[in-house]
């Protein structure tokens, strides 16, 4: 019965809307519960779209079945039609006696914690321990794949986190011919796929397809205008006669040595060096062997398509990295923090992350958990608190010297605990602002200076020395002898008195 299907679909859509409203009205405290809620809402929205498409097909009635059914009910004997459908229903249940009945009210209703709400096992399996439910990126496997590429420098994981989205020299040592290899193509494909998948897992309610479509449109525009970084058309013949400006874009780029020169004279002088001649010969040999010169000037369709695919992946990785900039910074901070932890502390942190949240426990234990959380932590030594709210180990406290106080008068007599925090604060905004209030503009020369009087004395000395140096070149009278030699007036008269002129 199409009318019954129409009623069922309409009811299902209303139930789904009510379920979404119930879940959006609450804001979970734990990130796992929030992700579970967002993925549930995303699944409900997808089901609403599917059910709406089926409902629209019924309303359009392309084959006219709905119209015939309405006419049969309205024109014929209503009791005859009723008993006809009743017989069909009984016949169906006679043939399928164990057919389950879907209860929409119970299917989408949000259950209380004590009513057996389904566990978040799906969310637990969706993220690795390093990702911490979407807080951080897990690029360890991709870092190993990067180190296995040909022609790359060995980078630490922290350095890789800072440069995995940079594909132009001098930050990226991979040359353009090496980028067309299968290993590099597979690497950028895995990296782009991971970033897209991570974004879909952490933001299921965002319209990511629309976001990715803007990336594709931006790449098409950049590719047509030949402005994709690292993939500009090079119509010059490889050699020292046609330097290109790459790298930082401020100097002269040597395509043979893959090096940037700030000075034109230094660039011209290095052209006759053995290293440059050897690199130019090797590049010319590779170009002749691989046909790269002809492929650049007249690229084959297959080579052009491969370059375009690799450039599209690099462009997408750069865009995704900018979108995930906050997670990227948090990942770097987390990696640095874990480097100072023991294996036991890392395991404890991982166990605490995957432990059951208070929302999964019965409501009867809420009062007990509140009383436990309100207990005061025993901390007689006044040690700083770690990530779990407990004092850090005493050996770590002594190792970093956190018991040593370093006051800074320029920062308003602020006291920094530990040498590391004290050294770091010279580049922070508070210290720089304090120096600017004293009239100091060159703050780099005032490291380790914390007193206002010392800073003022040093600044006065720097200003005085600059004035003296500036005055040396002023007021000097130049004299010229008969041979055209120019010299200061004092030297001229001294030589004249000695009869040397």
100 compared with 358, residue with greater pLDDT? 100
- Please check whether residue 387 is in contact with residue 349, taking contact to mean a CB–CB distance below 8 angstroms: yes
Distance CA 165, CA 171 (A): 10
Q: Which two tokens stand for residue 110?
A: 């949000």
Question: Residue 191 has what pLDDT?
Answer: 92
262-304 confidence digits (pLDDT tens): 778 888 888 888 888 888 887 777 666 554 444 444 556 777 7
In the predicted model, what is the mean pLDDT of residues 157-182?
84
127-163 confidence digits (pLDDT tens): 888 888 888 889 999 999 988 888 788 888 888 888 8
- Please check whether residue 187 is in contact with residue 145, taking contact to mean a CB–CB distance below 8 angstroms: yes
Question: Residue 475 has what pLDDT?
Answer: 58
Distance CA 156, CA 343 (A): 20
Question: Residue 195 has what pLDDT?
Answer: 92
pTM: 0.56
The helix/strand count (H/E) of the chain reads as 22, 6
Cis peptide, bond prior to residue 170, ω within 30 of zero: yes
Q: Which two tokens stand for residue 228?
A: 């994709």
Planar angle of CA 323, 328, 330, nearest 5 degrees: 125
In the predicted model, what is the mean pLDDT of residues 434-453?
87
Indicate the SS3 state at residue 410.
coil
Between 353-362, 412-421, 447-456, 464-473, the lowest mean confidence (pLDDT) is in 353-362
| Strand 486-488 versus strand 478-480 pairing type | antiparallel
Radius of gyration of the chain, Cα coordinates, nearest whole angstrom: 37
**Mean of per-residue pLDDT scores for the chain:** 79
Return the percentage of the chain with pLDDT > 90, whole number: 8
What stretch of H or E contains 94? helix 78-95
Residue 247, Ramachandran bin (φ over 0: left; ψ between -120 and 50: alpha; else beta): left
């Amino acid at each position: 019965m199409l009318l019954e299907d129409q009623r069922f679909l309409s009811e299902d859509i209303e139930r789904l809307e009510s379920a979404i409203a119930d879940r959006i009205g609450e804001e979970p405290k734990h990130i796992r519960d929030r992700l579970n809620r967002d993925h549930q809402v995303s699944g409900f929205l997808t089901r609403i779209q599917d059910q709406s498409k089926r409902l629209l097909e019924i309303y359009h009635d392309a084959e006219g079945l709905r119209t015939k059914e309405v006419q049969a009910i309205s024109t014929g004997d209503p009791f005859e039609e009723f008993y006809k459908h009743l017989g069909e229903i009984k016949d169906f249940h006679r043939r399928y006696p164990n057919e389950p009945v879907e209860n929409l009210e119970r299917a989408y209703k949000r259950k209380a914690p004590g009513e057996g709400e389904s566990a978040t096992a799906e969310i637990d399996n969706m993220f690795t321990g390093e990702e911490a439910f979407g807080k951080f990126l897990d690029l360890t496997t991709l870092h190993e794949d990067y180190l296995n590429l040909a022609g790359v420098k060995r980078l630490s994981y922290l350095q890789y986190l800072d440069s995995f989205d940079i594909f132009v020299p001098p930050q990226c040592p991979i040359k353009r011919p090496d980028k067309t290899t299968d290993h590099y193509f597979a690497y950028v494909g895995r990296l782009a796929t991971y970033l897209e998948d991570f974004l879909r897992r952490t933001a299921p309610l965002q319209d990511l397809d629309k976001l990715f479509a803007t990336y594709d449109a931006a790449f098409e525009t950049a590719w047509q205008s030949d402005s994709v970084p690292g993939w500009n058309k090079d119509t010059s013949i490889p050699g020292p006669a046609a330097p290109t400006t790459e790298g930082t874009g401020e100097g002269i780029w040597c395509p043979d040595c893959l090096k940037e020169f700030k000075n034109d004279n230094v660039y011209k002088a290095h052209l006759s060096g053995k290293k440059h001649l050897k690199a130019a010969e090797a590049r010319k040999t590779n170009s002749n062997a691989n046909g790269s010169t002809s492929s650049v000037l007249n690229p084959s369709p297959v080579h052009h398509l491969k370059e375009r695919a690799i450039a599209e992946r690099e462009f997408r990785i750069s865009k995704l990295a900018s979108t995930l900039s906050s997670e990227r910074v948090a990942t770097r901070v987390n990696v640095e923090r874990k480097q100072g932890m023991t294996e036991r502390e890392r395991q404890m942190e991982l166990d605490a992350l995957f432990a059951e949240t208070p929302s999964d426990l019965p409501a009867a234990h809420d009062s007990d958990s509140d009383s436990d959380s309100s207990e005061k932590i025993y901390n007689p030594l006044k040690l700083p608190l770690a990530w779990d709210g407990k004092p850090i180990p005493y050996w770590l406290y002594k190792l970093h010297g956190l018991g040593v106080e370093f006051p800074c008068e320029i920062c308003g007599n602020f006291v920094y605990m530990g040498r590391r925090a004290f050294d770091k604060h010279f580049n922070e905004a508070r210290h720089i602002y304090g120096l600017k209030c004293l009239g100091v503009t060159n703050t780099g020369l005032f490291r380790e200076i914390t007193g206002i009087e010392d800073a003022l004395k040093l600044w006065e000395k720097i200003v005085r020395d600059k004035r003296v140096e500036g005055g040396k070149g002023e007021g000097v009278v130049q004299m010229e002898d008969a041979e055209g030699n120019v010299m200061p007036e004092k030297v001229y008269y001294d030589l004249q008195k000695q009869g040397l002129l």
